[in-house]
C-alpha cells in the first residue's frame, strides 16, 4: 500500500496552539495513513436539523447567511460542539461563487437555486467572468476566524462541480432529468466545453481561496452527475474535473456525487484522494470499483437515522465493517443530513463510530 508521508507543514494545515492538524484522524484517513479511530463527519451537519441553526437563521435568507462571517463561523461550529465530529464543513452553498460574480440567482426555500436568466447560448456565457478573491472576502475572513477557533479540528472547504453548477445555470433551477443540460452537452459540444471551462476556472479559484485562508481539505460536490453515463462522463466532464483537482493539489481532495455507482471507476481517475460513495453501493464493492490508491468516504443512508437506534447501530456497524476493505475510510452519510433527523441520533452515531473504529 502506498501511503502519503506525514508532511511537516502541509498546505492548508495550521498549528493553532501548537496543534499539528496533519495528525488529525480525518486528515490521516484521507491520506490513507493509520488512524487512532475511524473519523466521522456528516454532509449537511451544519444546518437544518439543528435547533440552534434554525434559531440563528430565523428571518435570514440563505445567501445572506452565506455572506455574513459571524453567522458562517457560528453555524460551522455548531455541529462540532454538539457532536464532536472529526472535521468541520464550511457553511456555505455551491452557488455562492456564481452569485459573487454577478449571476442573477437566489435560493428559494423548498425549491433550491433559481437562476433568473438561464444560459442557453454563447452570449449567455458573458456573465461568467473569473472569480477574484475580493468577490468573496467574507469567505477568507470566516475561514481565518474558524481555523483559530477549531484548534485541532480540520476545516473542509468545498465547491460545486462544473456539471452540477452548469445544470442549474442551463435549466434555470433544480431539474429531475437534466434535459436541457444533456441537450447542450450532446448537441452543442463546443458551447458545452466552453461553459465547463469557465466554471472550472471559477471553481478552482474558489477552492484556492479557501485553502489559502486555512481550509485543511476540500470537497468537490458533483451532486447531479449520476445522471450521466460513464462514457459521456469521460468525454464531457472528466477533463474539467481533472483540471480542478490538479490545480488544488497540496491538501486532501474529496470527490462526491449522488447516484454515481456506475461512475465510481471514472471518478477515481479524476484526481481526488478520497472518493465519496452514496448509500447505493456497499463500501467493499466501491473499493473494488474505485481501485487502489484512494480512500473512501461514506456511506450510511441518511434515512436510516429516522429509524430506531438499534437499526442505526446495526447499519452503521455494517458500513464500518465493509469500509475495512478501503485503504482509508472516513465515515459519513451517503448524502446530507435530512431536516427531520434527531440530533441525538447523530451524536450517538458519532460516538459509536469512534468507539467501534478504534
Which distant-in-sequence residues (6+ apart) come within 8 Å of 125 by Cβ? 119, 191, 194, 195, 198
Cα–Cα dist 95/297, whole Å: 23
How many CA atoms, within 13 angstroms, populate the side-chain half-sphere of residue 76? 32
Q: Rounded distance, CA 160 to CA 82, Å?
A: 27
**Residues constituting the chain:** 358
Residues that are catalytic: 44, 48, 57, 93, 168
Q: Which residues contact 88 (CB under 8 A, 6 or more apart)?
A: 41, 46, 76, 77, 79, 80, 146, 150, 153, 154, 155, 156
CA dist 26 and 219 (Å) reads 13
Q: How far is CA 337 from CA 43, 48, 173, 311, 343, in A?
A: 6, 8, 22, 17, 10
239 phi and psi, to 5 degrees?
Answer: -55, -35
Alpha carbon distance 95, 169 (integer Å) = 10
Is the separation of the CB atoms in 293 and 303 below 8 Å? no
Amino acid at each position: 500500500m502506498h501511503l502519503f508521508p506525514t508532511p511537516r507543514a502541509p498546505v492548508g494545515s495550521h498549528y493553532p496552539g501548537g496543534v499539528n492538524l496533519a495528525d488529525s484522524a480525518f486528515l490521516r484517513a484521507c491520506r490513507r495513513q493509520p488512524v487512532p479511530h475511524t473519523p466521522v463527519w456528516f454532509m449537511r451537519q451544519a444546518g437544518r436539523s439543528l435547533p440552534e441553526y434554525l434559531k440563528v437563521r430565523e428571518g435570514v435568507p440563505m445567501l445572506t447567511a452565506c455572506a455574513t462571517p459571524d453567522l458562517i463561523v457560528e453555524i460551522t461550529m455548531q455541529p462540532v460542539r454538539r457532536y464532536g465530529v472529526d472535521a468541520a464543513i464550511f457553511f456555505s452553498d455551491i452557488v455562492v461563487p456564481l452569485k459573487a460574480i454577478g449571476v442573477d440567482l437566489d435560493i428559494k426555500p423548498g425549491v433550491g437555486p433559481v437562476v433568473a436568466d438561464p444560459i442557453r447560448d454563447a452570449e449567455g456565457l458573458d456573465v461568467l467572468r473569473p472569480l477574484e478573491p475580493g468577490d468573496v472576502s467574507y469567505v477568507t475572513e470566516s475561514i481565518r476566524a474558524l481555523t483559530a477557533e477549531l484548534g485541532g479540528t480540520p476545516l473542509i472547504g468545498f465547491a460545486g462541480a462544473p456539471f452540477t453548477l452548469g445544470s442549474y445555470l442551463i435549466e434555470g433551477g433544480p431539474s429531475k432529468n437534466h434535459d436541457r443540460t444533456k441537450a447542450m452537452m450532446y448537441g452543442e459540444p463546443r458551447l458545452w466545453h466552453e461553459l465547463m471551462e469557465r466554471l472550472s476556472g471559477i471553481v478552482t479559484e474558489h477552492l484556492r481561496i479557501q485553502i489559502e485562508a486555512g481550509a485543511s481539505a476540500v470537497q468537490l460536490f458533483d451532486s447531479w452527475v449520476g445522471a450521466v453515463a460513464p462514457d459521456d462522463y469521460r468525454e464531457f466532464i472528466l477533463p474539467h474535473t481533472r483540471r480542478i483537482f490538479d490545480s488544488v493539489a497540496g491538501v486532501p481532495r474529496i470527490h462526491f456525487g449522488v447516484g454515481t455507482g456506475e461512475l465510481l471507476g471514472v471518478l477515481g481517475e479524476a484526481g481526488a484522494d478520497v472518493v465519496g460513495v452514496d448509500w447505493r453501493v456497499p463500501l467493499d464493492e466501491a473499493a473494488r470499483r474505485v481501485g487502489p490508491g484512494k480512500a473512501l468516504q461514506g456511506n450510511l443512508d441518511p434515512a436510516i437515522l429516522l429509524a430506531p437506534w438499534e437499526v442505526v447501530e446495526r447499519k452503521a456497524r455494517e458500513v464500518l465493517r465493509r469500509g475495512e476493505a478501503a485503504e482509508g475510510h472516513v465515515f459519513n452519510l451517503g448524502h446530507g443530513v435530512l431536516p427531520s433527523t434527531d440530533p441525538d441520533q447523530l451524536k450517538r452515531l458519532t460516538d459509536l463510530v469512534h468507539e467501534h473504529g478504534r
